Amino acid sequence: MSPDPRYAAYIRAELDAMLARPKELHFTTEEYRERQNKARALMAEQQVDLLLISSPEAIAWLCGHALRWNKGQSPSDWPALQTLVLRHDSDRLVLFETNGHEEMIEMHSVVTDARIYPERDVEEALDFIVGELRSEGWLNGRVGVEQWSYIPNRYVGGRFEARLREAGCEIVDVSLPVRALRRVKSAQELQYIEKAAAICDAGLIAVRDVLQPGMTELEVWSEMLRGMVAAGGEPAALHESVVVGPIEQGHAFSTRREIKRGDYVWVDPCGVYNHYHANVAATFFVGEAPEEALEISAIQAGAYELLCQTARVGTPIRETNRVLKEYYEDAGTWGLHNWTGGYELGLSFPPDWVGEFQYTIGEEDVEGVFLADTVTNFESVVNFIMIDTVVYQESGTRTLSSLPHGVTVVPV
């Protein structure tokens, strides 16, 4: 039986009205084109003929396409095979996606060639994708894939690679070089991260203003989110946790635990703007803080000025690691600390906001230098969580939070 033509006309009109809205891109088409050119330069460097991009971050970075559902743990009948394809000898982009995303691709990306694969079965989906690549004459030579991406999952990715090998291709893992493309940020990316840091500060201020004994971790968490959303924030790639210490609870979920006088509550959010993350975390002591707590907090806070003085563009990472380790040793907290160092921040989607580059204070056998226009967090952690976002530029290294470093005492 055919659908009611009146209903069909109504739905068609709604869709047409949506598609008539201006395209919503976070960057200019020129910036996306520059990124694609960098990817093709990487292909030449890695001697790759065909590049299959599957990680949500890399797809979004190259063309703007982004979804909140990437089928990471979906039914086996709905395989996660969304793939952006680049060829070394062509300026074309081809995006393989599933039914229902065509309008999002049109409205939120620079992709003009989207091909919809069937979802009913992994092999049927691969029949379609491999067939399309064959029809383009692209199934030859070396094919670069992202084996470190959780999309596609192990089974689906294994079947995809097997089918490519059967077609005569050589598979090469280019996960780390592809991730490295995003390490140095553009001016627009840095602006988004600056906005994200201000959003994060707003969440911490909201916590400071409402935190009292009797609230649960989840209630404080909701107030933190309220503050960040009011400042223009959006969902983060990880749960922005509020947890009663000690720091060993650092990767726990917020719960219904009731906060009491004498608790220290650590708050670890990322502010997010257009999917770009900035991490600022703080500890709140409910009541009168012990003298030792304030002294340790001051030591942790003092590391940020030293970091900005030491971790300049071009400075060997091992030199900064050495200087910061000596600082904590002289202060009497080395050996009492938790993980202390920094990891890359930027464009992220669930399930993680932690980027590829990282450095750990205390490691000496480390190659590399700090690069201009890169961003990490820095975690100065002894007994209390203390994190800020750091930007490394030719003009200097700086932290982004406007809030003072140190434990915040909440009088009760």
CATH number of the structural domain spanning residue 364: 3.90.230.10
The verdict on 154 and 204 lying in the same domain is no
The verdict on 125 and 159 lying in the same domain is yes
The verdict on 277 and 142 lying in the same domain is no
**Pair type for strands 50-53 and 83-87:** antiparallel
End position of a domain, from candidates 159, 180, 201: 180
The verdict on 227 and 344 lying in the same domain is yes
Smallest CA-to-CA distance from 42 within 179, 164, 135, 165 is with 179
Q: Looking at residue 249, what is its pLDDT?
A: 79
Q: Looking at residue 250, what is its pLDDT?
A: 80
The verdict on 194 and 223 lying in the same domain is yes
The verdict on 138 and 259 lying in the same domain is no
**Total number of domains constituting the chain:** 2
Q: Looking at residue 326, what is its pLDDT?
A: 98
Q: Looking at residue 74, what is its pLDDT?
A: 87
The CATH number for 80's domain is 3.40.350.10
Q: Looking at residue 198, what is its pLDDT?
A: 99
Is the Cβ–Cβ distance between 317 and 378 less than 8 Å?
A: no
End position of a domain, from candidates 148, 180, 212: 180
Is the Cβ–Cβ distance between 275 and 349 less than 8 Å?
A: yes
Say how far apart CA 223 and CA 240 lie, in whole Å: 12
Structure tokens at 240: 């922005």
pTM (2 d.p.): 0.96
Structure tokens at 402: 């406007």
The verdict on 165 and 25 lying in the same domain is yes
The verdict on 149 and 191 lying in the same domain is no
CA dihedral 63→50→148→389, nearest 10 degrees, is -40
Smallest CA-to-CA distance from 339 within 350, 354, 349, 351 is with 354
Structure tokens at 310: 């030491």
Q: Which amino acid is at 167?
A: A
Render pLDDT for 279-306 as a digit per residue (tens, 0 to 9).
999 999 999 999 999 999 999 999 999 9
Q: Looking at residue 247, what is its pLDDT?
A: 73
Smallest CA-to-CA distance from 324 within 306, 297, 342 is with 306
Q: Looking at residue 1, what is its pLDDT?
A: 84
Residue span of the structural domain in which 317 resides: 187-410
Render pLDDT for 55-112 as a digit per residue (tens, 0 to 9).
999 999 999 999 999 998 989 999 999 999 999 999 999 999 999 899 999 999 999 9
The verdict on 41 and 166 lying in the same domain is yes
Is the Cβ–Cβ distance between 221 and 241 less than 8 Å?
A: yes
End position of a domain, from candidates 180, 215, 247: 180
Is the Cβ–Cβ distance between 270 and 353 less than 8 Å?
A: yes
Name residues whose C-beta falls within 8 Å of residue 85's C-beta, 6 or more positions apart in sequence: 50, 51, 52, 53, 93, 94, 95, 96, 133, 138
Q: How far is CA 94 from CA 46, 62, 84, 100, 105, in A?
A: 21, 12, 6, 17, 12
Is the Cβ–Cβ distance between 192 and 270 less than 8 Å?
A: no
Q: Looking at residue 16, what is its pLDDT?
A: 92
Structure tokens at 410: 């909440």
Q: Looking at residue 222, what is its pLDDT?
A: 98
The verdict on 281 and 358 lying in the same domain is yes
The verdict on 172 and 224 lying in the same domain is no
Is the Cβ–Cβ distance between 284 and 206 less than 8 Å?
A: no
Q: Looking at residue 246, what is its pLDDT?
A: 75
Say how far apart CA 101 and CA 81 lie, in whole Å: 13
The verdict on 372 and 257 lying in the same domain is yes
Residue 168 gets the label, from left (phi > 0), alpha (psi -120 to 50) or beta, of left
Q: How far is CA 107 from CA 1, 21, 288, in A?
A: 32, 8, 53
Q: In which residue ranges of the chain is pLDDT below 70?
A: none
